[in-house]
A and B are shown apart, each in its own frame.
Chain A
């Protein structure tokens, strides 16, 4: 009786998700502090290392993620208007964007590995300190972000299943809403990562 009552308090569920998002921000916040400290200490090395990242691929990924966020937000609206098919198509689009993002990321990482620019590689070890730290942070932050992309995509995939089974409807869609919120956070963090690594001069 009241268990169902509890689950229908969408505002509470949203509050829980927002709190979780705060904790995620603090998680990445710790890494951004480390970034800020080393950027202040080695600005020239960071700029030089930043030029070695492919800013076209980074920009493409930014557009891909922004589009995916738009699709996720539209999916929530579609469910609210009881347009199930449209919602399914939009979420599938979001998942496709997530896959494209990860593929591009894979190509980028692969290129860096091919050039010996990964932690503990002899090629990287001979470079100035600031560049070693830059690439250490690059792999740490984009790696952790990729894990979050996977987590967000999993949540959205579950939402897709729930819509199919009629568990997410125009009356009860907080799970999808929270998944979309999480997805926006993944997007938002990337918006900070992109200029910090790719556009730094």
Chain B
């Protein structure tokens, strides 16, 4: 196939192929399913941000500012559940994996199109369950980790919330197995494993973690439900059970889940940086192997969340060592990205800007992660605002920024329209400044000893908290600019039919936006040959 000039196709784009709500809600087209995810995920993201800003507002001054302790506890739980299970975990794989992965391997769709739609419905079903706790039985106040014994004794509706997470996990497993099968069976003939685009590689590696790790949290949450409904006693010390075992099982999934969040983000960055440096990516093989390395080693570090929970010194030592080991493949990637930029012909468009923010924020957060992963310093900062700051640096600064990079990179392909570059740049910079102002003080506060998950604090911490709250407003302004720019562009943006970025992967070789069959000219060729 000629790579530079997309063939003009008579086939209508996937957006115009059919009309009416049925054509969307019953679609099996991976691109339309990606749109369904994008819509839902955006709504939940905005809801999560709103709750986050409200929590920051409460923390602006000591004492009760706008809400009491119970509301605050419920909100940080809801914020966590929404952001983790409804935004970051499905974010990049379900939206961009769905849209881009089949295109990048030259396929017409994913391997199981019906299953793909089914997993979107599971996702929506789980989301409705999670949010219905707002009205039924009271919002859980346990935090998104649902730690026992509190989660099995609190009067709030933990049962419904954990059931929701179970369903969301099932959706994630189904998506994962769909992607693995797709990459194995639907690659264009001649497209070998070591020629796969790096985004496809990262979604593939993530899919394995999704399939193998998610069931563990599924069973753990079922045990919570069984404990609440029947009192089977597995985590209840009064019956001989062990609460620490719950923490092990929970993190056995939830730490690999961190890599479910970050690996696809790294894949996005590995696509964006070469495209906007006009260079081949530096060390393709190293990036592939470090992706797989992170997927494997990342599954063996879970107990570093539990250094203060009670473990043998040997276990602390081993898990601390393994934690440090994950830093190696992560650093390999950062090195590769920076080396790709070196002597490149750099075009600082919004996607690259977000990718650079990613590198900076992720590296910063990652270094904080080493402070947390070291057994000694961990004791000092455990359960403080330092953890909250670190987590947001790697997750929001990492996966979140990459989500925006992906959105600004593939937006023209998805909608066939261009957004306003200046607004995107302004929004990105304001977001970045607000971000650092919001989360950096948290790290300092944590080092000074301010615990997390409290709606109140001693007056000593007043100034930095006020600064952090102001940061949350600036961040919100940046987000409003970005989101307004994109929505406005979907409706009124300049129409384009060409690849605006001169990308080299297969998704840029078909029409913009792609027709339903993705590569209709090739399909005809195949049929006439058969």
Interface presence of A195 (CB below 8 A): no
Annotate B175-213 by CB proximity to A: 1 below 8 A, 0 otherwise.
Answer: 011101100111000000000000000000000000111
Q: Do the beta carbons of B111 and A6 come within 8 Å of each other?
A: yes
Instruction: Chain B residues near A11: list those with CB within 8 A.
Output: 185
The count of chain B contact residues (Cβ–Cβ below 8 Å) is 42
Interface presence of A166 (CB below 8 A): no
Instruction: Chain B residues near A140: list those with CB within 8 A.
Output: 223, 226, 232, 234
Interface presence of B502 (CB below 8 A): no
Instruction: Chain B residues near A16: list those with CB within 8 A.
Output: 111-112, 115, 177-178, 181
Interface presence of A37 (CB below 8 A): yes
Interface presence of A4 (CB below 8 A): no
Stretch in A22-30, A99-107, A154-162 touching the partner: A22-30
For B241, the closest partner residue in chain A by CB is A133
For A17, the closest partner residue in chain B by CB is B177
A40 to chain B, nearest CB (A): 11
Interface residues of A in 1-39 (CB under 8 A from B): 1-3, 6, 9, 11-12, 15-16, 19-20, 22-24, 26-31, 33-34, 37-38
Stretch in B214-222, B266-274, B447-455 touching the partner: B214-222
Q: Do the beta carbons of A26 and B215 come within 8 Å of each other?
A: yes
Instruction: Chain B residues near A37: list those with CB within 8 A.
Output: 242, 245
Q: Do the beta carbons of B111 and A12 come within 8 Å of each other?
A: yes
Instruction: Chain A residues near B232: list those with CB within 8 A.
Output: 119, 136-137, 139-140
Q: Do the beta carbons of B215 and A24 come within 8 Å of each other?
A: yes
Q: Do the beta carbons of A119 and B230 come within 8 Å of each other?
A: yes
Interface presence of B477 (CB below 8 A): no
Interface presence of B233 (CB below 8 A): yes
Instruction: Chain A residues near B186: list those with CB within 8 A.
Output: 12
Q: Do the beta carbons of B215 and A19 come within 8 Å of each other?
A: no
B13 to chain A, nearest CB (A): 18
Partner of A12 from B176, B184, B226, B239 at Cβ < 8 Å: B184
Q: Do the beta carbons of A130 and B523 come within 8 Å of each other?
A: no
Q: Do the beta carbons of B219 and A30 come within 8 Å of each other?
A: yes
Report whether over half of chain A's contact residues are helix, strand or loop; otherwise say mixed: helix
Q: Do the beta carbons of A133 and B239 come within 8 Å of each other?
A: yes
The count of chain A contact residues (Cβ–Cβ below 8 Å) is 39
Instruction: Chain A residues near B527: list those with CB within 8 A.
Output: 1
B226 to chain A, nearest CB (A): 6
Q: Given the complex of chains A and B, what is the CA–CA distance between A30 and B249 in angstroms?
A: 7
Interface presence of A85 (CB below 8 A): no
Q: Given the complex of chains A and B, what is the CA–CA distance between A20 and B213 in angstroms?
A: 12
Instruction: Chain A residues near B226: list those with CB within 8 A.
Output: 119, 140
Interface presence of B231 (CB below 8 A): yes
A79 to chain B, nearest CB (A): 22
Contacts A22-B212, A34-B245, A133-B241; A12 near B181 (Cβ below 8 A) = yes
Q: Do the beta carbons of B185 and A9 come within 8 Å of each other?
A: yes
Interface presence of A173 (CB below 8 A): no
B11 to chain A, nearest CB (A): 13
For B173, the closest partner residue in chain A by CB is A23
Interface presence of B109 (CB below 8 A): yes
Annotate A155-190 by CB proximity to B: 1 below 8 A, 0 otherwise.
Answer: 000000000000000000000000000000000000
Q: Given the complex of chains A and B, what is the CA–CA distance between A147 and B249 in angstroms?
A: 22
Interface presence of B499 (CB below 8 A): no
Annotate B136-152 by CB proximity to A: 1 below 8 A, 0 otherwise.
Answer: 00000000000000000
Interface residues of B in 424-474 (CB under 8 A from A): none
Partner of B215 from A3, A23, A132, A133 at Cβ < 8 Å: A23
Instruction: Chain B residues near A31: list those with CB within 8 A.
Output: 219
Interface presence of B20 (CB below 8 A): no
A129 to chain B, nearest CB (A): 3
Q: Given the complex of chains A and B, what is the CA–CA distance between A23 and B214 in angstroms?
A: 8
Q: Given the complex of chains A and B, what is the CA–CA distance between A15 and B179 in angstroms?
A: 11
11 contacts between A and B (CB under 8 A): A1-B523, A12-B111, A12-B185, A16-B115, A28-B219, A34-B234, A41-B240, A136-B233, A136-B241, A137-B234, A144-B222
> 16 extra interchain contacts, Cβ-Cβ under 8 A, other than A2-B517, A3-B113, A11-B185?
A2-B523, A9-B111, A9-B185, A15-B181, A16-B115, A16-B181, A20-B177, A23-B211, A23-B215, A24-B215, A26-B216, A132-B240, A133-B234, A137-B232, A139-B230, A144-B222
